[in-house]
Amino acid sequence: MEIFRVDPESGALSESELAACEAAVKSSELLVIPTDTVYGIASVPFEPAAVQRLQGAKGRSEDFPPPVLVSGVAALDSLLERPAIFGAPAPLYEAARRLATAFWPGPLTIIARANPRLGWNLGKTGGTIALRQPDHPVALQILEATGPLAVTSANRHGAPPATDISAATAYFWDKVAVYVDAGESPSGQPSTIVNLTKLDAAGQPVIARAGAITAAEIRAVL
């Protein structure tokens, strides 16, 4: 177990620390990383053993598939389903792209149809994937090094999310290979989750979890 403390002057990890983060996830180990909301516990999303380790540490079953953090809007092109309809892009993909362009990086998680060619086993997703780009320089630095990561809030299921590294280590200790300490979480509030695959009685996408981005702000973009 290692704890890397972000350099207060540069606000970044060193190249050797980034390499250690990358090596850990490539070995199906777990990371705890800072985000713009709360600390997250992370694994690679494409290795079943790593995802199972993540869910086991969290104390969750496959009924609670973790979201995936990405480094930018461009990730939608490979991760989401994009069937053309009479030569036009699929409406769900276009809606996801509008929301991501408007609110990323930031506290909005978007659930849409996953690219069926991915072959990732994140749990009982029903063919969907939840994506977000965090608005945190260290998180983005890590994602640029590792690629997309399956990330869920750093806490045991049902417990308060960790907003500092001491809370995260108290939850997981040696279950995690690398902890990245960037101080207190900026907001401590989880992201808003919008599910584009489900509509409410008014025909609007369902807000699966309320957060910093309001339903009115989402409707204004869609």
Helices (H), 14-62: 15-26, 48-58
At 11 the pLDDT is: 86
**Amino acid 51: pLDDT:** 94
pLDDT in tens, the chain (222 residues): 899 999 888 889 999 999 999 999 999 999 999 999 899 999 999 999 999 999 999 998 888 999 999 999 999 999 998 766 555 557 788 999 999 999 999 999 999 999 988 889 999 999 999 999 999 999 999 999 999 999 999 999 889 999 999 999 999 999 999 999 999 988 777 889 999 999 888 888 999 999 889 989 999 998
Q: From CA 154, how far away is CA 72, in angstroms rounded?
A: 22
Give the position of tokens 């995936």.
Answer: 68
Provide the 10 A C-beta neighbour count for residue 94: 13
Residue 30 · residue 154 · CB < 8 Å: no
Q: Which two tokens stand for residue 185?
A: 């979480």
Tokens standing for 83?
């069937």
Query: CA-CA distance, 173 to 151, in Å (whole number)?
Result: 17
Domain 2-221 has CATH 3.30.450.40: no
Tell me what pLDDT residue 204 has.
85
- The whole-angstrom separation of Cα 16 and Cα 73 is 27
The whole-number pLDDT of residue 222 equals 84
pLDDT at 7: 85
Expressed in angstroms, the distance from the first to the final Cα of the chain is 44
d(CA 220, CA 137): 28
**Which pLDDT value is given to residue 68?**
97
Question: How much is the pLDDT for 89?
Answer: 52
Confirm if 52 and 89 have CB atoms less than 8 A apart: no
Show me where the domains of the chain are located.
2-221
Pairing assessment for the beta strands 40-43 and 31-33 based on DSSP bridges: antiparallel
* Per-residue pLDDT at 147: 94
- Are 48 and 65 a contacting pair, CB within 8 Å? no
Strands (DSSP E) contained in 164-221 are 178-181, 192-199, 205-209
User: pTM of the predicted model, to two decimals?
Assistant: 0.91
Burial of residue 144 (number of CB atoms within 10 Å: 0-12, 13-18, 19+): exposed
Q: 77: Cβ–Cβ under 8 A, 6 or more apart, which residues?
A: none
Give residue 87's pLDDT.
53
